[in-house]
Amino acid sequence: MIKPLGSDKLMPLYVADDAKRAELIKEAEGLPSIIISSAAAGNAVMLAGGYFTPMTGYMNVADSMSVAKTMKTTAGQFWPTPLLNVVEDASAVKDAKRIALKDPNVEGNPVIAIQDVESIEEFTADQMATMTKEIYGTDDMDHVGVKAFNTVGKTCIAGPIQVLNYSYFDKEFAGTFKTAVEIREDMGKLGWEKIVAFQTRNPMHLAHEELCRMAYNDEKADGILIHMLLGKLKKGDIPADVRDKCIRKMAEVYFEPNTVMITGYGFDMLYAGPREAVLHACFRQNCGCTHLIVGRDHAGVGDYYGPFDAQTIFDNISKDDLQIDIYRADHTAYSKKLDKVVMMSRVENHTKEDFVLLSGTKVREMLGQVIKPPKEFSRPEVADILIEYYRSINK
């Protein structure tokens, strides 16, 4: 395993001491409070679990702009995306030095964290536009990430936090949600030193499975961390519980025992393409992984990014800033000649007609019509779970 980002050890911000946490929960009852955005709540959960080591809280305007433009804070710490608590109206906490942050995603809006307020500032329209373009590569409000980023407010509340719970993630996804601390501990118990991480927000089809196997074999790894996003997605994406079931079935049937660890993390998808790929690399390094698989259009949406932009962004990142290695995956497809999924660039004597090329859109259309995807695309056990899900929502 490799060291965490910018630190010799993980820095989880969850208050693990029961007595201290109870004291803070009591204190929160008397503090000025504000309901934060889902994105800010996700940031708190990631900070709580050590995923966002070495960050200690939410960034101010200067650090946010510096990170957006250079992927470094004003103090020089490498980080790829602004870590924000922005709201539309901060009047409820004006002049407060310590505030309670309420969770928008849990009924009753319980306090998720306490924040020491270092500053409350407004992003200008120009600053919002600059951050948007730098992070997302576009200012098109039809881009789901751009729209989300620009509709939660411009008032930036900066300062360190102490996190009191993991929102809904540890309850709704018990057994799957894990902190970076827990993942490192579990991999240590298995004796894993070289670990390949696979990021997913979708059920894994056959090409994903083979990609994990290729990386595992090519890098002579000890294990594979299949790490799924459990937070909010865009309309039409498969719910996390269905994805979880699909991935577990695939691993159970098709991978050797003790070679795959299936876990999830509590964060909303940004759909920021290359910048989000770098963020994925940061917190997989914090998990202890030595390699991250980055494939075609990693963390992308629509046609906003080139197919391999999320790989080439790493060309300009120093090993002094980010130690994890990137396993760069090319186009994968099922070869009718070889009767298996291959990286298309690795096989000889193939024409386009020798591959089964199915887009994710085409497969979603098939599933929407309750048609089982072909064996060249999906394992039958996984397809059965997906068909059951689509049948349930089409009733």
- The contacts of residue 116 (CB under 8 Å, 6+ apart) are 57, 97, 98, 159, 160, 161
Contacts of 130 (CB under 8 A, 6+ apart): 65, 68, 69
Question: What single-letter DSSP state applies at residue 210?
Answer: H
Active site residues: 201-202
336-to-72, 204, 254, 353, 378 alpha-carbon distances in Å: 47, 20, 20, 9, 15
223-229, strands of its sheet edge to edge: 260-265, 223-229, 195-200, 291-294, 325-328
Phi, psi of 271 (to 5 degrees): 60, 40
CB of 204 closer than 8 Å to CB of 376? no
* CB-CB contact of 229 with 269 (8 Å): yes
Cβ-based neighbours of 233, under 8 Å, separated by 6 or more: 201, 268, 269
What are φ and ψ of residue 241, in 5° steps? -65, -35
Question: Residue 97 and residue 110: Cα distance in Å, rounded?
Answer: 20
CB 355 within 8 A of CB 334: yes
Distance CA 221, CA 154 (A): 44
Cis omega before residue 110 (within 30°)? no
